[in-house]
Amino acid sequence: MGFLIPFLLFLAAAADAKLTPDYYKATCPDFEKIIRETITNKQLTTPTTAAGVLRLFIHDCFVEGCDASLLIASNSFNTAERDADNNLSLAGDAFDVITRAKVALELSCPQIVSCADIVAQATRDLVTMVGGPFYTVRLGRKDGLVSKASRVAGNLPTLTMTMDEILTLFAKKGFTTQEFVALMGAHTIGFSHCKEFTNRIFNYSKTCAHDPAMNPTYVAGLSKLCENYTTDDAMAAFNDVMTPGKFDNMYYRNLPRGLGLLSVDQMLVGDSRTRPYVIQYANDQKAFFDAFSHAMEKLSLVEVKTGRKGEVRSRCDAFNSLSN
Ligand code: HEM
Ligand SMILES: *[C@@H]1O[C@H](CO)[C@@H](O)[C@H](O)[C@H]1NC(C)=O
Ligand SMILES: *[C@@H]1O[C@H](CO)[C@@H](O)[C@H](O)[C@H]1NC(C)=O
Ligand SMILES: *[C@@H]1O[C@H](CO)[C@@H](O)[C@H](O)[C@H]1NC(C)=O
């Protein structure tokens, strides 16, 4: 045991050391430019892309690590990660922009750039494009060789978890409570479908039709938006009702005013362990951006594969070898 721990630490350090921001400098000099152009075109025509990719990224990283396992399509032999019950309608446009970047990169430098690196870099560029901070993305990930729907449960947070369960899950992935609260700032962009929050606005309890923590005007607006949710499952609300498309600290400013959309958003300001960080980030956007950048750099390294632990896929939705 005594010699095993230093050995494992050495392995972890070695894997980290292989990731560098200029990994493709010699082998694919246009890497940065191609990703930036692809995401810019897509985001301008489809403004929901940034949030979709950010969510796709954390869903990928929390299941098997940041290895593009989420991009694999199911086939008759394998139900892949993206078809797990709780993939919760990941945006098709998020998959699409990664596919476009991959096609462009294969033309410029075939078989060089991993899909996992494309997702990490595209996420950073999109966050920055919609107003968020710029942070360093280290590169050199390999794409994973496993993608199974059965590996999703227990690795992704859900709306039925208690704060204890959520904090335990994030701790298991390497995040402190503060880093968890900073990552939740991602809900400053994007949408949630009505079914994710109707339990807060319709028939909440015997005594109150809606969650009393919510602003009544907000509840009225959401109730109207979701009036047909049982028959129309496409309806969705902005996660940040004030500045929905802008990556800023408005998410945290909304929470104490009863303008959090999901139950987990409300829990963040209700729980004494997370509340201090909500207040801090609500008052100080720079503190939020610094914390978010740090947490995203960390998220980008979760269980990353290098060397022969993975491969560079030739297309992002399929393993190179049929036998996987
Ligand atoms: C306890 C933790 C979390 C829970 C339970 C949760 C749950 C959800 C749910 C239910 C939605 C709505 C999905 C839909 O209806 O399509 C959503 C949206 C979203 N989540 Fe989270 N989330 C959590 C943490 C995070 C974190 C840490 C990030 C990123 C770092 C994130 C990024 C997003 C984004 C960007 C969206 C909008 C997606 C879009 O517009 O396509 N979430 N989340
Ligand atoms: C998961 O997402 C994929 C691709 O977006 C979709 O085709 C599939 O139906 C979803 N699965 C479930 C169970 O929602
Ligand atoms: C709320 O509960 C009442 C009585 O059980 C029911 O008639 C009604 O359809 C419910 N409304 C919604 C939106 O679920
Ligand atoms: C709900 O359905 C009714 C009847 O079809 C329609 O008039 C109304 O506009 C719908 N509401 C929303 C928010 O889509």
* 245-271 tens-digit pLDDT: 999 999 999 999 999 999 999 999 999
Mean pLDDT to the nearest integer, 22-50: 98
pTM comes to: 0.92
- pLDDT over 90 at 201, yes or no: yes
Cα(57)–Cα(116) distance, integer angstroms? 9
Closest CA to 180 of 120, 71, 257, 267: 267
Q: Which residue has the tokens 């309890």?
A: 205
- Mean pLDDT (the chain) is 93
Q: Above pLDDT 90, what percent of the chain? A: 86
pLDDT at 87: 53
Mean pLDDT to the nearest integer, 66-79: 93
DSSP state of 166: H
**Ligand 1 center to 235 CA (angstroms):** 16
Domains of the chain: 19-155+300-323 (1.10.520.10), 163-299 (1.10.420.10)
Q: State the CB neighbour count (10 A cutoff) for residue 124.
A: 25
**Position 21, amino acid:** P
156, burial (CB in 10 Å: exposed 0-12, middle 13-18, buried 19+):
middle
Q: 299-319, pLDDT tens digit by residue? A: 999 999 999 899 999 999 999
Q: 204-237, pLDDT tens digit by residue? A: 998 999 999 999 999 999 999 999 999 998 999 9
Ligand nearest to the CA of 189: 1
Residue 66, CB-side half-sphere exposure with 13 Å CA sphere: 28
The encoded tokens of residue 123 equal 């996420």
**Ligand 1 center to 52 CA (angstroms):** 9
Query: For a substitution probing ligand 4, which of 222, 228, 231, 235 has the most ligand atoms within 8 Å of its CB?
Result: 228
Q: How confident is the model at residue 84 (pLDDT cuts 50, 70, 90)?
A: confident
- pLDDT over 60 at 170, yes or no: yes
- pLDDT over 80 at 5, yes or no: no
Among 15-24, 170-179, 211-220, 254-263, which is the least confidently predicted range? 15-24
Residue 59, CB-side half-sphere exposure with 13 Å CA sphere: 26
pLDDT at 322: 73
pLDDT at 77: 87
**Cα separation values, 245 from 107, 168, 239, 286, 291, Å:** 32, 30, 9, 19, 20
Clarify whether 59 is annotated catalytic.
Answer: yes
Cα(87)–Cα(267) distance, integer angstroms? 22
**Ligand 3 center to 203 CA (angstroms):** 6
Cα(210)–Cα(225) distance, integer angstroms? 15
